[in-house]
Each structure stands twice: as structure tokens, then as C-alpha cells.
Amino acid sequence: TGAVGLYNIGLSCCLNSVLQVFLMNIYFTRILRRITVPPRAAQKRNVLYQMLLLLEKMQCGKQKAVSPMDLASCLSAYRVKLFATHDAAQLFLTLWNLMKMQMEKPELVKELTDLYTICIQEHLACQKCSLETKRKSSMLILPLSMLDSNSHMLKTLEDCLQHFFRPVELTDHNMCLCEQCGKRTPFLQSMKLVHLPHSLTIHLKRFCFEKSAYIHKLNNNLPFPQDLDFNVILTENQCQADNNEKAGWQYELFAVVAHSGSTSFGHYCAYIRSLTELKWYCFNDSHVCQVSWDDVKTTYGHSSLHLGETAYLLIYMKKH
């Protein structure tokens, strides 16, 4: 099979899961395979090259699992510590940025950026004088809150997405300085979706600070669909895109990075749907097994199981 495990080399389940999400993505590996091989001396510190080596090792098909030791030690040179627990979303960003930074061919940089970047237009409108400022911004991960503005649990992923794009009034402490009015005024902040990438990464903010600095994990049930159509979720004025762009906003679930345990300790595993075989696999470090959609659904979250697996990162892939 195309699914090969990664040995845990000491609390590396998070790294392993994120790596699997990258390496099982054929659109990413197509880019990865075209990198220029760095000079020998630089090879050990080149994240992309180490990724490629790991991919080769995994795909030679001899073993059920390989060790990501070399890549891990390479990463440790960039302050991605070994033997330490990480946050999967954070690690995903770090890894991506490292790769982009070390990419030498500009066309590959563009491709990598295109593959992952979400474009959003932020609107800030002064409520007093209607002065509107727009700003385009791009992000790699859509960070979705599990709670609405009243701290009620949102029911589904679609709700979370809608909540993300809902305009927010900035009042009181959050008032901004209006150039036209010359003072701090209430603003209406809204976000419009401009562009969605081929590979869309969604971060469910399950770890949250609610009271004081105490972090806790939200285990609530939050179903996510296998198929996601942003045209259905967003209203006309939450988008800033032409029909051509919108036509491509049809997604299907590609991977789920799930976390089990609590904030103080835990374990990551990845559920990934092989893009070649169209089958779901569950990657628990070196242990890989084929699963079904029912298993993936178990990561919706469960109010009675606080230590069970819950989806943390969702990666959707554009349909053809």
C-alpha cells in the first residue's frame, strides 16, 4: 500500500502526523520532487531535501514504517525541538514557512503558495462616517472558533465557517481610530473570501483560554462533512470572487489531524484519504491501518469522552 508509517522518535507523533499530511498530498509531493538538490554540505540543514529523502524512503516500499530521524534533527536546527510536544497547527505553519524559505526556484515558491494560501479581504468601516478601508490578507490556515460570540458551542463546521465570516462590530475597547473623524469610533469589521487554494487547511480552535490563563480543551461534538461547498455556506456579500473562482469552491475532505488526551498530555494521529487509492488510513506513528469514514467520524468529538480523539486540523482538497 501507499501508506507507510513513521516511527516515533520521542514525542514526535505531532510531527509525524503533520508530515504525513504533507507527504500524502500528491500535489505537494509533485512540487517537492522538483526541488534542486542542495550542495552536500547544506543537505543536512535543508528541510525540503530531508523531506524528499524521507518521502523516497517511505516510497521504496520495503518497510511498514521509516524513521524521520534525519528530518527531525534537521528541524531541530530551526528551533523545532525534538522530544517536545508541539501544537499541530503551529508545527504545520513552521514547517511550511521553512520549506518556502528554503525553496530556491521562484516558480516552485509560487506553486507552493498557490497550493495552500487562502486570500481574504478585510473590510473596516467606520460606523460614524462610513469611511471604509479594505485590506487584502492571505493566510495558510483558517482558524475557526468553536464558540460563537456568546460563548455558545457552534453546532457544525458549516456554522463555524459562517461565524468566521460574520461581520463584527468593534466597539468600546475595540474601537479604532478613524482618520476622517479624527477619533476612535466604532467600526464594523467584516471579511470577504477572495480566493481558496487547492489544499485548504482549517484549524478548529479546540484549545482555548476561557478563564484566566488556564487552557482547556473543548471536546464537543462538531461534525464536519466529507463534501464542502463554500457557495452554499457563504452569502453573496461574504465573497469577493468571480464566478470562475467560485465554481472551484467545491471541496472534499482529504485529511484530519486528530488529538487525543488533554492539554497537558496527548497524542496526535492523522486520518488521511489516499488520493491515489481513495481509501482512508489512520496513521498512528509507525502503525498504519486502513479505516472507514465511520472511524473518521469518531473524531467529531464526544461529550462523554474527554480524552478521545478529536479533529484538530482539517484539510480539504478541491474537487476536480
Alpha helices in the chain (DSSP H): 13-23, 26-32, 40-43, 47-59, 69-76, 88-102, 106-116, 157-164, 230-233, 243-247, 293-297
Q: Closest CB to another protein among 64 and 183?
A: 64
Q: Among residues 36 and 221, whose Cβ is nearest to another protein?
A: 221
Instruction: Compute the least distance from the CB of residue 261 to another protein, in Å.
Output: 5
Least gap, CB of 134 to another protein (angstroms): 45
Q: Which residues contact 11 (CB under 8 A, 6 or more apart)?
A: 82, 83, 84, 85
Which candidate in 13, 74, 160, 239 is catalytic? 13
Pairing of strands 287-291, 310-318: unpaired
CB of 11 to another protein, least distance (A): 6
- Could you tell me the smallest distance in angstroms from the CB atom of residue 76 to another protein? 14
Nearer to another protein, 140 or 282 (CB): 282
Catalytic pick among 86, 267, 269, 282: 267
189 or 286: CB nearest another protein:
286
How far apart, in Å, are the Cα atoms of 141 and each of 47, 111, 197, 234, 290? 21, 17, 11, 18, 27
Distance of CA 207 to the CA centre of its chain: 15
Closer to another protein by CB, 11 or 188: give it: 11
To another protein, the closest distance from the beta carbon of 283 in angstroms equals 9
**Which one-letter amino acid corresponds to residue 312?**
Y
**Partners of 208 in beta bridges:** 216
CB of 28 to another protein, least distance (A): 24
- Given the C-alpha cell 500535489, which residue does it identify? 27
Q: Which three cell numbers mark 88?
A: 499541530
Least separation in angstroms between residue 241's CB and another protein is: 38
Active site residue 119: no
Q: Which is nearer to another protein, 247 or 289 (CB)?
A: 289
**Amino acid at site 22:** F
Phi, psi of 75 (to 5 degrees): -65, -35
Report which of 95, 99, 67 is spatially closest to residue 79, judged by C-alpha positions: 95
Q: Which residues pair with 178 in a beta bridge?
A: 183
- Which residues lie below 8 Å from residue 216, measured CB to CB, with a gap of 6+? 207, 208, 210, 263
**278 CB-near residues (< 8 Å, 6+ apart):** none
The residue type at 125: A
Residues that bind another protein in the complex, under the rule CB under 8 A: 5, 7-11, 62-65, 83, 260-261, 265-267, 269, 282, 284-287, 289, 291, 294-295, 297-298, 302, 304-309
For the question of residue 13 being annotated catalytic, the response is yes
- Residue 124 or 307: the one with the smaller Cβ distance to another protein is 307
Q: Which residues are catalytic?
A: 13, 267
